[in-house]
């Protein structure tokens, strides 16, 4: 029986922290069948890089969105720029968007305004939307319960809410993605949430180059730390080919054969993101 390819529901292949190592990364990705990957932009400054990647790599589904970390420094015309990119790429997703009270000096009302504006676009076009949330699960639920949503549902990437909230989000149309990051010993709640996720709403991701899994769950590694805006001292990087580890982790936690996980996630990914 042939195995379905692996799908990465949320990553940042365009990130400058990966560019120097891309030939080696590409070689690692060739070691297993890889389907589509959703590459998420976070602000107008990186949307062109996502667009160029999508043009040259047929595996890439581009996603354009204003991340809550970037709301405070967004240009005045960011929403029009977003509309322009989504017009140029009609099958793109909207993301990465959402709410975040973890960052210093967060402005939740401003985040809410940007989030609602992007949800409105996704609902209008029935686009897939990839949502980030940290320490704002109550406000996120309030927003999703009162905003127009895409008919296809929405994607809660790297789900870190409580397992008790999973049925409520699922009823609203949520898909939930997880990575091997949940295998860190301290991530008990994340593992419980994965177990609580309905099988037909499960997606897997890397969020590379972020969300590095425990060492035992790193099938592939990248040497050295690279600094970025929120970690100027440098941080280890998550290898894109560790999507295979995300599948291994899900199979272990759910006590299911690898083939079953691949089949279910492939079906869910195609249903939500499409293959176009």
CA dihedral 261, 264, 270, 273 (to 10 degrees): -70
pLDDT average, residue stretch 226-242:
70
pLDDT average, residue stretch 49-69:
98
pLDDT band at 90 (very low <50, low <70, confident <90, very high): very high
Q: Cα dihedral sign for 191, 12, 176, 202?
A: negative
Q: How far is CA 32 from CA 21, 29, 58, in A?
A: 19, 6, 17
197 has which bridge partners? none
pLDDT digit string (tens) for 104-160? 999 999 999 999 999 999 999 999 999 999 999 999 999 999 999 999 999 999 999
Mean of pLDDT over the chain: 95
Would you list the domain boundaries of the chain?
6-273
More confident residue, 211 or 228: 211
**Report field, pTM of the whole predicted structure over 0.85:** yes
Residue 231 pLDDT > 80: no
pLDDT average, residue stretch 38-65:
98
Distance between start and end Cα atoms, the chain? 25
- Integer Cα distance of 268 and 276 in angstroms: 15
Residue 76 pLDDT > 80: yes
What CATH superfamily is the domain 6-273? Answer: Metal-dependent hydrolases (3.20.20.140)
- Please tell me the predicted confidence (pLDDT) of residue 114: 98
Residue with the two structure tokens 């990575």:
179
Inter-residue contact 149 to 178 (CB < 8 Å): no
Percent of the chain exceeding pLDDT 90 equals 93
């Amino acid at each position: 029986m042939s195995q379905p390819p692996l799908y990465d529901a949320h990553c940042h292949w365009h990130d400058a922290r990966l560019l120097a190592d891309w030939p080696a990364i590409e070689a690692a990705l060739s070691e297993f069948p890889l389907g589509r990957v959703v590459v998420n932009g976070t602000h107008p400054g990186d949307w062109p890089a996502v667009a160029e990647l999508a043009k040259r790599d047929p595996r890439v589904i581009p996603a354009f969105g204003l991340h809550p970390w970037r709301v405070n420094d967004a240009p005045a015309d960011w929403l029009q720029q977003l509309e322009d990119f989504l017009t140029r790429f009609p099958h793109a997703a909207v993301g990465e968007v959402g709410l975040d009270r973890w960052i210093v000096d967060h402005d939740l009302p401003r985040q809410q305004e940007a989030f609602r504006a992007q949800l409105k676009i996704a609902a209008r076009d029935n686009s897939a939307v990839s949502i980030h949330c940290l320490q704002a699960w109550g406000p996120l639920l309030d927003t999703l319960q009162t905003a127009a949503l895409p008919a296809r549902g929405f994607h809660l990437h790297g789900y870190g809410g409580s397992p008790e909230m999973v049925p409520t989000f699922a009823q609203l149309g949520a898909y939930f993605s997880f990575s091997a990051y949940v295998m860190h010993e301290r991530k008990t709640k994340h593992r419980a949430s994965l177990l609580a996720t309905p099988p037909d709403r499960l997606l897997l991701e890397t969020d590379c180059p972020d969300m590095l899994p425990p060492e035992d769950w790193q099938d592939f590694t990248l040497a050295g730390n690279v600094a970025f805006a929120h970690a100027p001292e440098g941080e280890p990087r998550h290898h894109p080919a560790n999507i295979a580890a995300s599948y291994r982790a899900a199979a272990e936690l759910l006590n299911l054969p690898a083939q079953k996980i691949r089949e279910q996630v492939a079906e869910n990914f195609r249903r939500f993101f499409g293959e176009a």
